[in-house]
Amino acid sequence: MWLKDSEGKKAFRHGHVAFNQASQAAQVCGSFRPDVEEEWVADEERSCYNCRLRRWTAESFDCLLPA
């Protein structure tokens, strides 16, 4: 699900439109925090795509939770 660099930064490996995977990842995350509504892009509230701690990148998003 994640690509980790040497500094422990986590990048979601499935891109911008992998809604099932983003939902699954959020289901098992104890730190999920919904972003403000206007920034949601997934239909299910509990999705990494809707999380305040995701930082969009050109290819996907990084998870901002400390490693």
Site string for another protein, 2-21 (x = CB under 8 A): --------------xx-x--
Residues near another protein (CB under 8 A), total: 20
Query: Cα dist. 65→27, 36, 43 in Å?
Result: 15, 18, 22
Could you give the CA distance from residue 34 to residue 12 in angstroms, rounded to a whole number? 17
Site string for another protein, 16-55 (x = CB under 8 A): xx-x---------------xxxxxxxxx--------xxxx
Q: Which of 7, 8, 58, 66 binds another protein (CB under 8 A)?
A: 58
Ordered alpha helix ranges (H), 1-67: 19-27
